[in-house]
Chains A and B, each alone.
Chain A
């Protein structure tokens, strides 16, 4: 499904600020894998996702999705394969456009955009149906500007946009971190439901160790630009937060992770 081969990325090379963000990282995801990624600040989690999405170019290595080498594809061309939800709820949606218009843009991901209508009556009806499943009341204000929605509502909308046209790979970059705990839980449950329904291959960064253990079938821990722990199946299911802490000491975890781990 996704193959990352010897990915290297260094920020500010040749300067005093030089920082190795990814150090020869290789990773293979199987079809239907739901991987949670944890690690301290600067471990390279977000950079890893950015290498896949093409937001930043790789210094060295290969990114392959379903046998297609997309290492040199620009970001917009990779979008055909990817669904993305960002940490900041403002990033994933266009505030000045309607809920329906945002969804219509997402439905056309990976397709040529011609001079046909940007949105049709028929698809608007299908959006109403899809939105009503979340129970947020968005279905009754389908033409409202997205800027009027709350952070949680925008994040649910982004999630729906990311999965509306089934992506080969879903990338979630701490997509609940900016939300209050109650909303975060709601969004995370909606995420899990969507992933299970379509069996989506997913990479989810989280700072919450409990969530990392609860969700997904595989867990990856990163430190200093390397994957230092990769666990799946039964072994992952039986993992506990104290296990993780015992294994890697408290060094890797920042305060935020510690706090969320103690919930």
Chain B
């Protein structure tokens, strides 16, 4: 009973966090499902979003404007991966790892730029470049904050709806279709006159933009940023995409609208957040979460395959 009450009380927080990570997962969906590229940049670019938002807010930028600046910073991170992949011809996975690696340092430099003026005019010392460096923005005006979890969930929901609408529109345009064609069959895309390199770079930029935007919202929600929180974020993103997809496949057997598919990515993220909260509330060490996440992703990824095997065996027996 106590457990149920604690779960009930944490629901608004779960919803808010699930929605923010849902935006992150939508970014992952663009590369993983549409461009057919497993982009590992996201582990770095989500922190870039965090760091940029934090620094902006410390310098007095409007918190809403700050997340849009984070979006642009994320796009630059995606452009770096795109450059590695299309110009230098480095395989996509390696290109992403290289970006992620370089972003670690870049993010630390951004965080280090947090020397700022206190209200009384004195200069505050810069945050030292260190993996444990943490900058707090909880005293500043924010658009989302863990102090008001219900409000944060509502803001998160508005963002999610707006982003799904934007993606639905974009991937229906001529240019958006050329990105889908590039991911579906790049040879065919080139034969139809599509510049697949440009499409890939743009897709990576777009994706990492949303990833960084999610990072910016999460920084505000948790009240600050630290450099290590992006580690393994890709698994959370993939978990959301995969959970959403399996669920969508089970409910809509005949397929459905693109917007519904995107909504299910966010639903996947909400479910992931809920599982995470259950783990925390039953008193398990949160360090177990990574192992549990890996098991969840593996289970959902393999479920359709294993199901197929069974059918095959039955047929053979008959």
Beyond A76-B193, A84-B191, is A97–B184 a contact (Cβ under 8 Å)?
A: yes
Does A79 lie at the interface of the complex (its beta carbon under 8 Å from any beta carbon of B)? yes
Please name all residues of chain B whose beta carbon is closer than 8 Å to the beta carbon of A116 when the two chains form the complex: 173-174
Beyond A91-B185, A97-B181, A113-B178, is A79–B190 a contact (Cβ under 8 Å)?
A: yes
Please name all residues of chain A whose beta carbon is closer than 8 Å to the beta carbon of B226 when the two chains form the complex: none
Q: How far is the CA of A82 from the CA of B181 in the complex (A)?
A: 18
Q: Say yes or no: A94 contacts B175, CB within 8 Å.
A: no
Please name all residues of chain A whose beta carbon is closer than 8 Å to the beta carbon of B172 when the two chains form the complex: 117-118
Q: Say yes or no: B194 contacts A94, CB within 8 Å.
A: no
Does A115 lie at the interface of the complex (its beta carbon under 8 Å from any beta carbon of B)? yes
Q: How far is the CA of A213 from the CA of B179 in the complex (A)?
A: 41
Q: Say yes or no: A115 contacts B181, CB within 8 Å.
A: no
Count the B residues whose beta carbon is within 8 Å of the partner chain — how many? 22
Q: How far is the CA of A117 from the CA of B172 in the complex (A)?
A: 6
Least CB distance from A193 to B in Å reads: 22
Least CB distance from A165 to B in Å reads: 9
Of A86, A109, A118, most B-chain CB atoms within 10 Å: A118
Does A80 lie at the interface of the complex (its beta carbon under 8 Å from any beta carbon of B)? yes
Please name all residues of chain A whose beta carbon is closer than 8 Å to the beta carbon of B194 when the two chains form the complex: 76, 79, 105, 113
Please name all residues of chain A whose beta carbon is closer than 8 Å to the beta carbon of B181 when the two chains form the complex: 94, 97, 105
Proximity bits, A40-83, B CB within 8 Å = 1, else 0:
00000000000001000000000000000000001111011010
Does B128 lie at the interface of the complex (its beta carbon under 8 Å from any beta carbon of A)? no
Does A161 lie at the interface of the complex (its beta carbon under 8 Å from any beta carbon of B)? yes
Among B176, B184, B195, point to the contact of A94 (Cβ < 8 A): B184
Beyond A77-B193, A113-B194, is A118–B177 a contact (Cβ under 8 Å)?
A: yes
Proximity bits, B157-194, A CB within 8 Å = 1, else 0:
00000000000001011111110110011011111111
Contacting residues of chain A (108-130) with chain B, CB-CB under 8 angstroms? 108-111, 113-119
| Residue contacts A-B, CB under 8 angstroms, 19 given | A79-B192, A84-B191, A91-B185, A91-B187, A93-B188, A94-B184, A94-B188, A97-B184, A101-B177, A105-B177, A105-B192, A109-B193, A111-B193, A113-B174, A113-B178, A115-B170, A115-B173, A115-B174, A118-B172
Query: Taking beta carbons and an 8 Å cutoff, which residues of A are in contact with B?
Result: 53, 74-77, 79-80, 82, 84, 86, 90-97, 101, 104-106, 108-111, 113-119, 161
Across the A-B interface, give the 7 residue pairs with the lowest CB-CB distance, nearest first. A79-B193, A118-B177, A94-B184, A113-B174, A109-B193, A94-B185, A115-B173
Known interface pairs A79-B193, A108-B174, A114-B175; 7 further A-B residue pairs with C-beta atoms within 8 A, sorted by A's residue number: A79-B194, A94-B181, A94-B188, A94-B189, A106-B192, A113-B174, A118-B173
